Structure 1
Amino acid sequence: MKIDKILNNNVVVTHDQSGQETIVMGKGIAFKKRVGEQISKNAIDKTYVLKDEAASYRFQEILKDVPIEYIEIANEIVEIANRNLDNSFSENIYTNLIDHIYSTVKRVKEGLEITNILIWDIKKFFRKEYDVGLQALEIIKDKIGLELSEDEAGFIALHLLNSGLAPNFNDAEKITKIMQEITTIIKYNFHIEFQEESVVYYRFITHLKFFAYRLVSNTHYKDETDEDLIKMIQLKYRNAYQCALTISDFIAKQYKYDITKDELLYLTIHIDRVIRQSELV
């Protein structure tokens, strides 16, 4: 294979027999090499074929400055995700993971750690993706020697979710419509305007987005919450719970989809938080 571009000592750009641009990785694969020279297939550890030009460009740009360990980490995470998750990932998954992990390690080494405000939702509703995130932390610890918090497992899970949740255009329209319908019910029920720049609203909308994905794909999460806790939530957040029931009835009639008790519970809590914040303004 002929070298078309050298990104660093470990990564080069070439073309396969069909003329498709290909990014290949191998330790020292470009050491003392020049553009136009040949590389042995035996020197190649990993091959990437990104058909989207924009995705390929972003990937090449990030590979120029990132040590090979981070590329290997991303490779292992994607392999684990492919074995354990049902999603097919977009071409951006490698770029996003490498960029996130490289930036996170630099930030943590500088003493800056960020709390994942969605960790509660991720652990509850996306357990498989979160478990992959936990395995990713072990890989990072093994290769970089840095132990990261479970918040980072949640961030990695979000990258997997965002890259794997790729509905077609019709689904995207439906998801947006569902989110608009739910927010309209809440606004009219409580006569409020949302504080759309707030963290509370961001968390609420993210929850709705993932709920809408489950609705359009007709998937559910098993009820695991203790009945006593559900009763306590019903009493403590009475108004929010009644609104959640209204939403549940609407969804059942409009989309023939039954919201589980667990989903109703979390929807109630999110509604309570977002209306309390709006009432403070």
Structure 2
Amino acid sequence: MEIKRVLNNNVAIIESEGQEKIVMGKGIYFSKHAGDEIDESKVNKTFVSSTPKTFDMYIHLFSEIPYEYIDLSQEIINYAKTTLGNKLDEKINIDLTDHMYGSIKRFKDGITVKNALLWDIEKFYPYEFEVGEYALKKIEEKFDVALPKDEAGFIALHFVNAELSEGNIENIYDITKVMQEVMNIIKYSFHREFNTESVYYYRFMTHLRFFAQRLIKKKTFDDTGDQDLYDLIKLKYKEASACTEKIAVYCKKTYKYDLSSEEQMYLTIHIERLITKG
């Protein structure tokens, strides 16, 4: 097996049967370079993407996140495939790894995020929520980090999204229309286009898809969040907050949909990430 490109000590790209693949193994690429041979028996994970865009996202994410997180993410995904019995969109590999890494890092920094949909997630998606609870258990075993139950809900939503991505979602046209309208407001607010290939753009679109789904179904967050936290976010991210207010006015006028303070807070955070990193 010949290496085409080394990303770090644990991750490399090879070409096999005319197709690029990402191959992983703990520390097996140390001191290795393009053109070197690697023992195929030492490779324990291989990723092949159906699209160049997703493959590039794999490269970006897996070259930055420690191997231990990727390894645990795959263990959780394999468990989910067995438990849920549904085909999952391949981007779950990106979503779950990225979310898990970020959640653990924030928790260690003393930051926790309340999941306003926790009760609904547990009620309407019991099997996905069980996967989320399994993930929390494995995270604690591997990293000695006891994430709050809210995170089980967030993880469950990633699997719901991975299932919906296979075309089971209702009102897909209306949801897509709402997403386009919101993105237009953001583009016009900042007079710019965004890099649709970036991980940050993909994260925002994932959030926006759920937002649009709630709007179409007329289901909003309960206002149970921390108003002081939202006020702090508005003060810190003034431009993103102003854009969120435009979106709130538009949704109220066009769809008779009221964004709760908590929903506006999450939207502001995602817009800030998009405009500064996307």
User: 2:12 touches 2:29 (CA, 8 Å); kept in 1?
Assistant: yes
How far apart are residue 209 of structure 1 and its match? 8.9
Q: Which moved more, 1:100-109 or 1:86-95?
A: 86-95
**In 1, Cα distance between equivalents of 2:134 and 2:170:** 34
Alignment of 1:161-172 (within 5 A): 161-168=160-167
How far apart are residue 111 of structure 1 and its match? 0.6
How far apart are residue 176 of structure 1 and its match? 4.3
Gap change, CA 1:66 and 1:276, over 3 Å in 2: closer
How far apart are residue 87 of structure 1 and its match? 2.2
Of the three residues 208, 211, 214, the one matched with 2:217 is 208
Residue in 1 aligned with 2:73? 74
Counting matched residue pairs gives: 191
Residue in 1 aligned with 2:5? 5
**In 1, Cα distance between equivalents of 2:15 and 2:156:** 33
Paired letter, 2:106: R
Question: Matched residue of 1:4: which SS?
Answer: strand
Residue by residue over 1:62-118, the C-alpha shift from the partner in whole angstroms, topping out at 9 and shown as x without a partner, is 111211110011101110011011321112111111111111111111111000111
Q: Percent identity?
A: 38
User: 1:5 touches 1:12 (CA, 8 Å); kept in 2?
Assistant: yes
Bigger Cα Rg: 1
**TM-score in terms of structure 2 length:** 0.63
Alignment of 1:154-165 (within 5 A): 154-165=153-164
Residue in 2 aligned with 1:97? 96
Alignment of 1:171-182 (within 5 A): 174-176=171-173
Question: Matched residue of 2:6: which SS?
Answer: strand
**In 1, Cα distance between equivalents of 2:50 and 2:75:** 21
User: 1:121 touches 1:207 (CA, 8 Å); kept in 2?
Assistant: no
Paired letter, 2:94: T
Gap change, CA 1:177 and 1:11, over 3 Å in 2: closer
**In 2, Cα distance between equivalents of 1:53 and 1:276:** 36
Instruction: Check if 1:42 corresponds to 2:51.
Output: no
Alignment of 1:224-263 (within 5 A): none
Structural RMSD (CA): 2.8
Gap change, CA 1:114 and 1:38, over 3 Å in 2: same
Instruction: Check if 1:22 corresponds to 2:21.
Output: yes
Consecutive unaligned residues in structure 2, runs of 5 or more? 178-209, 220-256, 261-278
Paired letter, 2:90: E
Consecutive unaligned residues in structure 1, runs of 5 or more? 181-200, 211-273
